[in-house]
Structure 1
């Protein structure tokens, strides 16, 4: 355990930031799962996709994830959604 006041304060700040980052990450992971679930069912995902993008961007904005990681996650999410939509369309034919 730290003995110096500033070190103690830094530990407290670090713990607070860690909790906030975990919350942001959890929120966008949940939003991504919701999008993928809707895409698998063949439902409209436009609203939930924009919500997931917003959550990912907010996580990147506050530093919970890197901005390039956010871009990569959004790109992969769209790719998966399109894949699911193509599967649903072929299954309906």
Structure 2
């Protein structure tokens, strides 16, 4: 299905809101890059679904680290199911002499 520029912009805005929510409520300081990558690569419907699951679990009194691990696990499971690799490939820096 083709999407126009306006539709694409709306999708990006919604993804941005979900990412902001993830970073504010589910990030332990170590998952920011992973959450950014996941939200960018996964389809919007998948991101919405994961956010909904996390929202339903929000009442659980989990430590910050456990919340981040849970969010990352749900995103990774969806990525695996869809054959999407959520591994950030960084360039190797030049060695200093």
Normalization by structure 2: what TM-score?
A: 0.29
Q: Which structure's CA Rg is the greater one?
A: 1
Give the structure with the higher percent helix: 1
